């Protein structure tokens, strides 16, 4: 399986103008996933997990920085 661009879908979902548009994006991902063979599904799941951990780390880093900035101690 070629490398899947999780960020592209993440950005599309964040910028969706409605819940209906988000649902369409979600369905695209489900449809794509359904076309994968078991080995590619495993690779997709591992890639998705890595992407989510990376994004969570970025958000947490920003949150911790803002939180530390609000703390005068």
For 3-61, what is each residue's pLDDT tens digit?
889 999 999 999 999 999 999 999 999 999 999 999 999 999 999 999 999 988 888 88
Delimit the domains of the chain by residue range. 6-70
Measured CA distances, 33 to 26, 27, 57 (Å) = 11, 10, 25
Judged against a pLDDT cut of 70, whether residue 73 lies above it is answered with no
What is the predicted pLDDT for the residue at 58?
82
For residue 2, pLDDT beyond 80: no
Model pLDDT, residue 1: 67
Say what the pLDDT of residue 61 is.
Answer: 82
Write the DSSP string, 47-71. HHHHHHHHHHHHHHHHHHHHHHHH-
Cβ proximity of 46 and 1 under 8 Å: no
User: Taking the model in full, what pTM does it have?
Assistant: 0.72
């Amino acid at each position: 399986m070629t490398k899947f661009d999780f960020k592209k879908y993440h950005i599309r979902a964040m910028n969706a103008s409605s819940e209906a548009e988000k649902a369409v994006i979600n369905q695209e991902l489900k449809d794509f996933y359904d076309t994968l063979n078991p080995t590619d599904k495993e690779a997709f799941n591992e890639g998705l997990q890595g992407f989510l951990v990376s994004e969570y780390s970025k958000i947490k880093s920003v949150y911790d920085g803002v939180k530390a900035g609000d703390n005068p101690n």
